[in-house]
């Protein structure tokens, strides 16, 4: 080697080392721990931040820009330079007090980019990416600005630039309610505006072509993507505006006419995480704990005052029109039955509550919910001014609160409180302190809340910042009193149950109740095979399964549940919630004076789990989940199908090795069908081990449930 070559080589080595150092300082790409997902951050020629996402080297999110608009101050948009970046790896785990599994692994690589405007304002913006093996989250930190302590965000413009015309399961970006059916279309065909004016929604506002999250997609190559947010705190909920032509989504925050913008925040401020789950198997979407991991650890300590449980309720009977919430029977939701208006059919009376308590105590059900127990129901609907209507302390005259509580205690049943606010949160906030004290004095540890109707004051929406803060206040105040919350008409779940494990469940979807009164035919048979891969990705669902009298013709000839009875049983495993309603009327669970043989599954099935496994599934077609009960080690399996019949092989290889289980299979009878023969079932008993298999036939709209009790 001559001198010249040597000199040249050493110079090259020097340059290489130097670039490596400088790349270290301002690193702009980051991968998942397994290397499959890569995120690349970039600044455009004009200094606007953007990101791209690759999965196994294929682009799944193309260059997507990010910016913020404010009232009265310039946008944070371009003119940025990258000052520095930070990389770290976190590998840890944490335990759930109740949940789908005991321990959650939390392993990610984090890249934070520190940006600053080069212009005269010199404002800063930090963007933090966390990449997991199953997806990613990113959030913005807006540091303090000189002379500005509070900003009114008028728009957050986070783009999600798709790389194909994916198949999408979506609900509209409604600012008030998530209770829409999922529609399956290609991305280019999403038309949220067509979902306006649904007759059965108590409040609905769909300002533009946007979708709500979680929104789940499947690419032509079979890759699954789901978009959502984590840790929604002091901010507005995010819908995603749809650009059909350019296959692009952009964050559109829920607004407030009172605020004149989207969110008013003090600086410094961190936004919620924008999340993208990326999976090769549909079932992995459900098993992912990404949203939870992106939330802060438990902030309220031990919540053992709440016991995961099944509960019955004075509830379905109002929805199907057997009884009413109010005393006089004049103010029913959609349950008005010809000839019965005005007749007193009040469901929440002392005698009826005792009947439910007896049923619960005799059949191993721990909880009882009583709706319509308090005054206010005579004015709750059709009243413009609902402020001050509900009273959360005063029972109706035919409901002897003390007597019911004493009877429940004697029988070992826990009564769940009900607070329907009729979307008047200020009235609720005024009474919360006394109402929660009243609950605790009477030994009640959880409350189902409700927000039916348009929010008062006018101009606020269920999913806007003002309501996000109200729902948070409820969690905070309840936690201080050791009370757990199951919210209906809620803000969507964003994984906050990690930080506030008193947030036990919520509605936030088209629940069972629609089968009782919806004028559009009720929930179709594929509803829950879709929900499992969409709404359920955000958190526990109070869906209220367990209808045995599928057609309830005695009360409503024009409505029915569009599933078989076995499908209803499967939902106790398929749908995750630490509280599961056993929603039908006690008399509908009885056959010739005896408990229905299939009710045994409901008595046996767990509600708190050590492990959960999605054995099989395809969005909107079918899903099969196995869960291992905490404590007993028993397993339960639930499988459901859409309108198509299906053969499903259950491979028991997930069972503990060397253990024999007594398996009881509850399945559709040969001639079962959700419409023509929904209640036909069969029960089969056998012994199985982890080397066993069984093949099960699911009827159209059908399902099966298996209990596996250790021998």
In the complex with ligand NOJ, the residue whose CB is nearer, 115 or 368, is 368
d(CA 227, CA 213): 6
20: Cα separation from own chain's centroid: 44
- 684 token code pair: 């089969």
Query: How near is the Cβ of 334 to ligand NOJ at its closest, in Å?
Result: 10
In the complex with Ca ion, the residue whose CB is nearer, 130 or 488, is 488
In the complex with ligand NOJ, the residue whose CB is nearer, 508 or 701, is 508
d(CA 446, CA 310): 13
Residues of this chain, 660-699, that bind Ca ion according to CB under 5 A:
none
Query: How near is the Cβ of 511 to Ca ion at its closest, in Å?
Result: 6
Binds 444, which of Ca ion, ligand NOJ, none (CB < 5 to 8 A, cut-off by type)? none
Query: How near is the Cβ of 126 to ligand NOJ at its closest, in Å?
Result: 40
Instruction: Tell how strand 49-55 and strand 58-70 pair up.
Output: antiparallel
Binds 133, which of Ca ion, ligand NOJ, none (CB < 5 to 8 A, cut-off by type)? none
Query: How near is the Cβ of 311 to Ca ion at its closest, in Å?
Result: 17
Q: How many residues bind Ca ion (CB under 5 A)?
A: 1
In the complex with ligand NOJ, the residue whose CB is nearer, 255 or 586, is 586
Binds 308, which of ligand NOJ, Ca ion, none (CB < 5 to 8 A, cut-off by type)? none
Query: How near is the Cβ of 352 to ligand NOJ at its closest, in Å?
Result: 15
Binds 450, which of ligand NOJ, Ca ion, none (CB < 5 to 8 A, cut-off by type)? ligand NOJ
φ, ψ of residue 49 to 5 degrees: the values are: -70, 145
In the complex with Ca ion, the residue whose CB is nearer, 70 or 178, is 178
271: Cα separation from own chain's centroid: 20
Q: Measuring CA to CA, which residue among 450, 408, 312 is closest to residue 369? A: 312
Residues 64/160, Cβ–Cβ less than 8 Å: yes
Binds 526, which of ligand NOJ, Ca ion, none (CB < 5 to 8 A, cut-off by type)? none
d(CA 212, CA 173): 4
Binds 679, which of Ca ion, ligand NOJ, none (CB < 5 to 8 A, cut-off by type)? none
What is the four-CA torsion angle of 601, 604, 608, 613, rounded to 10 degrees? -50
248: Cα separation from own chain's centroid: 24
Query: How near is the Cβ of 66 to Ca ion at its closest, in Å?
Result: 35
- Tell me which DSSP letter residue 262 carries: S
Residues 326/346, Cβ–Cβ less than 8 Å: yes
Catalytic residue list contains 554: no
Widest distance between CA atoms in the chain:
107
Q: What share of the chain is helix, strand, coil (3-state, %, to 5)?
A: 20, 35, 45
d(CA 557, CA 377): 26
Query: How near is the Cβ of 420 to ligand NOJ at its closest, in Å?
Result: 4
In the complex with ligand NOJ, the residue whose CB is nearer, 507 or 642, is 507
Number of Cα atoms under 13 Å in the Cβ half of residue 352: 24
Binds 420, which of ligand NOJ, Ca ion, none (CB < 5 to 8 A, cut-off by type)? ligand NOJ
Binds 315, which of ligand NOJ, Ca ion, none (CB < 5 to 8 A, cut-off by type)? ligand NOJ
Residue for token pair 């919620």: 272
Task: Spell out, one character per residue from 474 to 493, where the chain touches Ca ion: x when CB under 5 A holds, - when not.
Answer: --------------x-----
| Contact set with ligand NOJ (CB under 6 A) | 315, 371, 420, 450, 452, 488, 507, 511, 513
In the complex with Ca ion, the residue whose CB is nearer, 201 or 444, is 201
In the complex with Ca ion, the residue whose CB is nearer, 334 or 692, is 334
The Cα-based distances of 230 to 483, 498, 534 in angstroms read: 23, 11, 15
- 313 token code pair: 């309720």
In the complex with Ca ion, the residue whose CB is nearer, 311 or 407, is 311
Residues 507/488, Cβ–Cβ less than 8 Å: yes
Binds 610, which of ligand NOJ, Ca ion, none (CB < 5 to 8 A, cut-off by type)? none
Q: Where are the alpha helices (DSSP H) in 322-457?
A: 350-362, 401-411, 425-441
The Cα-based distances of 15 to 10, 20, 24, 82 in angstroms read: 9, 9, 14, 22
Catalytic residue among 38, 117, 156, 513: 513
Query: How near is the Cβ of 375 to ligand NOJ at its closest, in Å?
Result: 14
Query: How near is the Cβ of 450 to Ca ion at its closest, in Å?
Result: 7
Residues 6+ apart with CB under 8 A from 669: 677, 680, 681, 682, 699
- Tell me which DSSP letter residue 377 carries: G
Q: Which residues are catalytic?
A: 513
- Positions in the binding site for Ca ion (CB under 5 A): 488
């Amino acid at each position: 080697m001559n001198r010249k070559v040597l000199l040249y080589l050493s110079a090259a080595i020097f340059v290489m080392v130097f670039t490596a150092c400088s790349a270290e300082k301002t690193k702009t790409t980051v991968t998942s721990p397994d290397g499959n997902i890569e995120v690349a951050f970039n600044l455009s020629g004009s200094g606007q931040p953007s990101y791209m996402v690759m999965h196994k080297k294929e682009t799944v999110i193309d260059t997507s820009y990010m910016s913020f608009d404010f009232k009265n101050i310039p946008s944070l948009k371009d003119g940025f330079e990258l000052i520095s970046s930070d990389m770290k790896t976190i590998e840890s785990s944490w335990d759930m007090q109740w949940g789908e599994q005991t321990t959650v692994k939390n392993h990610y690589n984090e890249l934070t980019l520190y940006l600053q405007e080069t212009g005269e304002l010199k404002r800063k913006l930090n963007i933090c990416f966390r990449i997991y093996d199953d997806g990613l989250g990113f959030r913005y930190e807006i540091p303090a600005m000189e002379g500005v302590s509070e900003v009114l965000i008028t728009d957050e413009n986070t783009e999600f630039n798709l790389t194909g015309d994916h198949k999408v399961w979506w609900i509209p970006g409604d600012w008030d309610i998530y209770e829409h059916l999922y529609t399956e279309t290609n991305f280019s065909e999403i038309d949220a505006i067509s979902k306006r004016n649904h007759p059965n929604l108590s409040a609905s506002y769909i300002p533009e072509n946007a979708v709500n999250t979680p929104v789940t997609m499947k690419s032509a190559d079979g890759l699954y993507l789901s978009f959502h947010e984590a840790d929604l705190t002091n901010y507005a909920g995010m819908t995603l505006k749809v650009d059909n032509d350019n296959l692009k989504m952009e964050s559109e925050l829920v607004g407030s006419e009172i605020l004149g913008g989207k969110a008013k925040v003090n600086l410094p401020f961190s936004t919620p995480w924008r999340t993208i789950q990326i999976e090769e198997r549909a079932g992995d979407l459900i098993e992912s704990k990404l949203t939870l991991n992106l939330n802060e650890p438990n902030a309220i300590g031990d919540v053992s005052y709440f016991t995961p449980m099944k509960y019955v309720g004075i509830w379905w009977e109002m929805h199907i029109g057997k009884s009413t919430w109010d005393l006089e029977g004049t103010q029913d939701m959609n349950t008005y039955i010809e000839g019965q208006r005005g007749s007193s059919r009040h469901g929440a009376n002392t005698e009826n509550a005792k009947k439910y308590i007896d049923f619960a105590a005799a059949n191993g059900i721990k909880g009882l919910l009583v709706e319509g127990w308090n005054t206010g129901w005579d004015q709750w609907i059709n009243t413009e001014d609902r402020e001050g209507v509900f009273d959360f302390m005063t029972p109706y005259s035919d409901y002897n609160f003390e007597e019911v509580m004493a009877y429940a205690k004697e029988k070992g049943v826990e009564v769940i409180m009900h607070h329907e606010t009729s979307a008047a949160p200020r009235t609720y906030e005024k009474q919360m302190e006394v109402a929660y004290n009243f609950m605790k004095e009477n030994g009640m540890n959880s409350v189902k809340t409700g927000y039916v109707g348009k929010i008062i004051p006018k101009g606020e929406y269920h999913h806007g910042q003002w309501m996000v803060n109200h729902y948070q206040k409820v969690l905070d105040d309840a936690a201080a009193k050791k009370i757990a919350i199951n919210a209906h008409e809620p803000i969507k779940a964003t994984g906050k149950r990690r930080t506030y494990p008193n947030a036990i469940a919520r509605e936030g979807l088209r629940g069972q109740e629609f089968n009782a009164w919806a004028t559009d035919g009720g929930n179709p048979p594929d509803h829950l095979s879709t929900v499992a891969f969409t709404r359920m990705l955000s958190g526990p669902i109070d869906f209220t399964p367990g209808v045995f009298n599928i057609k309830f013709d005695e009360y409503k000839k024009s409505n029915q549940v569009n599933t078989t009875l076995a499908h209803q049983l499967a939902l106790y495993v398929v749908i995750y919630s630490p509280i599961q309603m056993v929603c039908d009327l006690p008399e509908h669970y009885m056959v010739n004076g005896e408990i229905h043989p299939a009710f045994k599954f409901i008595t046996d099935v767990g509600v708190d789990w050590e492990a959960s496994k999605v054995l099989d599934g395809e969005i909107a077609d079918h899903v099969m989940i196995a869960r291992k009960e905490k404590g007993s080690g028993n397993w339960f399996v639930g499988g459901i199908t859409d309108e198509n019949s299906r053969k499903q092989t259950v491979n028991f290889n997930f069972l503990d090795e060397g253990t024999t289980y007594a398996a009881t299979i509850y399945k559709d009878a040969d001639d079962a069908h959700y419409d023509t023969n929904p209640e036909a079932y069969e029960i089969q008993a056998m012994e199985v081990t982890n080397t066993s298999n069984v093949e099960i036939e699911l009827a159209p709209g059908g399902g099966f449930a298996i209990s596996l009790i250790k021998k």
